[in-house]
Structure 1
Amino acid sequence: MKTSRRHFLLLGVSAGSALALSRAAFADSTNLLSETDPKAQAVGYKEDASRVDKAKFPDYAAGQTCGNCSLFQGKATDTYGGCTLFGDKQVAARGWCSSYSTM
């Protein structure tokens, strides 16, 4: 079978797109904020708001999550998103920290 120039170019574009998408997915997973990060520890960040120490953080209220905080930069449907507190790190939408704000 003879490969045409057009077919070759289409294969190259498809492979390039797949590579770019896999790089983006890899980059996103490496930028997740860890609970052990010093900045995260300073504000009591938890990836799951149900694990917040309510004795240590009495301002926490059920239903507060990063996903509905005014500092969260993701969409309501995102599992992870940016936060103005943590620069390029992504926080869990179901997470929580003491800087929670509803402005």
Structure 2
Amino acid sequence: MPVARVNRRLSRRDFIALAPILGGLGCCTWAHADPLLKESAPEALAMDYRADASTVDAAKFPKFKLGQTCANCSLYAGDKGAASGPCGLFMFKEVTAVGWCNAWEKKA
């Protein structure tokens, strides 16, 4: 017995019903990605990002001063005391609170 094939186009109503589900799947995939910025990432290399400010070579980076970390930078948006948080410079990535990069600016 032959199987009946349904050759139906997706209606506007069906599309509107599916849109939130498909959008949610995209967000779930992004949420499971590693949010922590790696030093080897192209954007990190461009800004001389270091995950630990104590490893910054002050001779190589004259802008660096002892005590500068992502946690006390104006671009850092992490919670006080958190190990990492979002940075205004690196979209969709978090930086370590003890990190440093060449864009460091004193928090007001």
TM-score (norm 2): 0.67
Q: How does 1:52-67 map to 2 (within 5 A)?
A: 52-67=56-71
Amino acid at match of 1:95: G
Cα offsets for 1:17-69 (capped at 9, x unmatched): xxxxxx8xx74x71100000011011110000000121111110110000010
CA distance in 2, matches of 1:76, 1:60: 22
Equivalent residue letter for 1:101? E
Match of 1:51 in 2: 55
Mapped pair 1:100 → 2:93:
no
Does structure 2 retain, via aligned residues, the 8 Å contact 1:66–1:92? yes
Q: Give the helix-richer structure, 1 or 2.
A: 1
Q: Which runs of 5+ in 2 are unaligned?
A: 1-27
Q: How many residues align?
A: 78
Partner Cα separation in structure 2 for residue 76 and residue 62 of structure 1? 20
- Uncovered stretches (5+) of structure 1, i.e. residues with no partner: 1-22
Aligned partner letter, 2:50: K
What is the aligned counterpart of 2:82 among 71, 78, 84?
78
- Identical amino acids, percent of aligned pairs: 45
| SS of alignment partner, residue 30 of structure 1 | coil
Runs of 4 or more above 3 Å deviation: none
- Aligned-residue CA RMSD in angstroms? 1.6
- AA aligned to 1:38 is P
2:77 counterpart letter in structure 1: Q
